[in-house]
Amino acid sequence: MLKRSKVKSYTKKFPRFENESLSLYYAPRMPKAMIKETEEAVALARKFNDEVARPLSLELDRKTHEDPDYLPVELVKKANEWGFYTMWIPKLFGGKGFNLPSISYFLEEVGSVCVGIANVIGVHYLGMAACMMLSNTRIIKRVMNDVVEGEKTGEPCLISYCITEPTAGTDVEEVDLEAKGRLGCHARKVPGGYILNGSKIFISNGHFSTWNVVYAYTDLKKGADTKVALMVKRGMKGFSLGTHENKMGQRVCPASVLNFEDCFVPDELVAMDPDIIKSYTKKTPRNVNMQHIDYVFSISRAGVGAFGVGVARGAFETAMKYANETEIDGKPMVTYEWVQCRLAEMYANVRLGRLAYTEANLANQHRGAYNILQMKPIYYYLKYLPVSYFKKVIAPLLDKPIATWILSKWYIDWQKPDDQHLTTGLASMAKFSCTDLGVRNCQMALELMGKAGLRHDSGAEKIIRDAKLLQIYEGTNQLNRINLFKSIVAPACPKATFFEE
């Protein structure tokens, strides 16, 4: 009916059809082995749920209420024993090299039993993503080696991403706000490195982590332009752990305070600063800063979307179990239409959420941070060559400045801005949609269960406590809405400005 050229012309118009329908275009391009890998990740999660998460979930939550100082170290060791902290580290860096989108399905599974436990595993990969997207291959290799070594020795080596400050939360996630925010973490350039002073708060897994990706600023009044990213290892002089917060939920995953007092960070652990940026791109430090934030959050927000679907599922499954076991006026609850309709809606919320984070993953796979790993030849090359090959042939190259230069160029200069906009926008959409759906399902479960859902031993009350944090971390759902607008909707609103009202 229409010539091919016309079809192309119409579908490329805003909103571009391909961008609006990633599943249609990219699902067929997925290497088949990825599906088997994802199935394996899901199966592992289910086994872990049966053997570890389900038996421990309520018990650990209760323990943290009995003793707010309690830290479930044994849980972290368990996850380490199961190999979860290296599962998604690329083989290039010594990990098991599971495809990165499969972590979402894994986290959803674990999150459906306990999203706090899922976070103890998942937030380590936020640290990994932050470290990797800084593109310093020598640092990446060193940190990932430690993680792999930690798995072998049984002493978990985790990574935390440390950006939130006592007076700056949302501000550190958006350069326009960062430029005006009340920042407090200062980095002073000295010969051979930086002296770091200040505090970070709400750092997930802070008390468990060995490595920390820390953002600081050489000029606190010009944060967006003077950011440095430093790798701080536990035990370094001047770095200490403060308290961990007394949170409403997700209590097995500590939100820690990290203090830096004249902490010297040598040049070899400086992953990004304005001078390093200048060495590989003409872009301004502020733009690179925003690109880095976008890359990290495009990955992590899809993961938080999976957490949201996890809690939506947990609430749905808990409510369904209750409805199956309960009678109203002598009839099973599940025979009533009003119950069926609510359970159906809860189920639909789970499926809709999963579609949202799948779209975000597809954007990461084909238009974002994972694209290098998703090219079929590279994917199969990484998958089937033995780890020993990477150790002997590739690993030495990672220490060369050229490796860092190529990776930095790849991510900062050789990606299309439109692709990054699409990726960050869809990650934000997944984040706020899935977590809103999660909280909604929790509310519906409580309404369906009444007093039975209020008891700790029912599990339902814990899910609704846990769920609320998802609407806050990785950028509040409000910031994520603005990011979606800015990244994807704004081209249709040329008069729109951001953070300037």
Binding site for other proteins (CB under 8 A): 62, 65-66, 164, 167, 169-171, 176-177, 180-182, 201-202, 245-249, 255, 326-328, 338, 342, 439, 443, 446-451, 453-457, 461, 464-465, 468-469, 471-473, 476-478, 481-482, 499, 501
Closest CA to 433 of 388, 386, 389, 481: 481
State the minimum distance, in angstroms, from the CB of residue 352 to other proteins.
20
Closest CA to 96 of 162, 46, 41: 41
346 within 8 A of 445, measured Cβ to Cβ: yes
Of the pair 277, 304, the CB lying nearest other proteins is at 304
State the minimum distance, in angstroms, from the CB of residue 461 to other proteins.
4
Give 486: exposed, middle or buried? Use CB within 10 Å, 0-12, 13-18, 19+: buried
Sign of CA dihedral 452, 453, 459, 462: negative
Q: H or E segment at 413?
A: none
Give Rg (Cα) of the chain: 23
State the minimum distance, in angstroms, from the CB of residue 450 to other proteins.
4
363 within 8 A of 421, measured Cβ to Cβ: no
State the minimum distance, in angstroms, from the CB of residue 325 to other proteins.
11
Of the pair 119, 210, the CB lying nearest other proteins is at 119
Of the pair 244, 292, the CB lying nearest other proteins is at 244
Question: How far apart are the C-alpha atoms of 379 and 168, rounded to whole Å?
Answer: 39
What stretches of 268-379 adopt beta strand conformation (E)? 270-272, 327-328, 331-332
Of the pair 37, 466, the CB lying nearest other proteins is at 466
Of the pair 10, 498, the CB lying nearest other proteins is at 498
Tokens of 159: 């990574």
211 within 8 A of 146, measured Cβ to Cβ: yes
State the minimum distance, in angstroms, from the CB of residue 155 to other proteins.
30
Tokens of 26: 């990219």
Of the pair 148, 319, the CB lying nearest other proteins is at 319
241 within 8 A of 232, measured Cβ to Cβ: no
What is the CB neighbour count within 10 angstroms for residue 264? Answer: 15
53 within 8 A of 113, measured Cβ to Cβ: yes
Question: How far apart are the C-alpha atoms of 247 and 82, rounded to whole Å?
Answer: 27
347 CB-near residues (< 8 Å, 6+ apart): 316
State the minimum distance, in angstroms, from the CB of residue 334 to other proteins.
14
Of the pair 141, 465, the CB lying nearest other proteins is at 465
Q: What is the 3-state secondary structure (H, E, C) of 347-391?
A: HHHHHHHHHHHHHHHHHHHHHCCCHHHHCHHHHHHHHHCCHHHHH
Q: H or E segment at 412?
A: helix 401-412
Of the pair 317, 436, the CB lying nearest other proteins is at 436
Of the pair 337, 388, the CB lying nearest other proteins is at 337
250 φ, ψ (degrees, to nearest 5): 45, 45
459 φ, ψ (degrees, to nearest 5): 85, -30
Of the pair 51, 447, the CB lying nearest other proteins is at 447
Of the pair 190, 328, the CB lying nearest other proteins is at 328
Question: How far apart are the C-alpha atoms of 165 and 234, rounded to whole Å?
Answer: 19
Of the pair 12, 65, the CB lying nearest other proteins is at 65
DSSP designation for 461: H
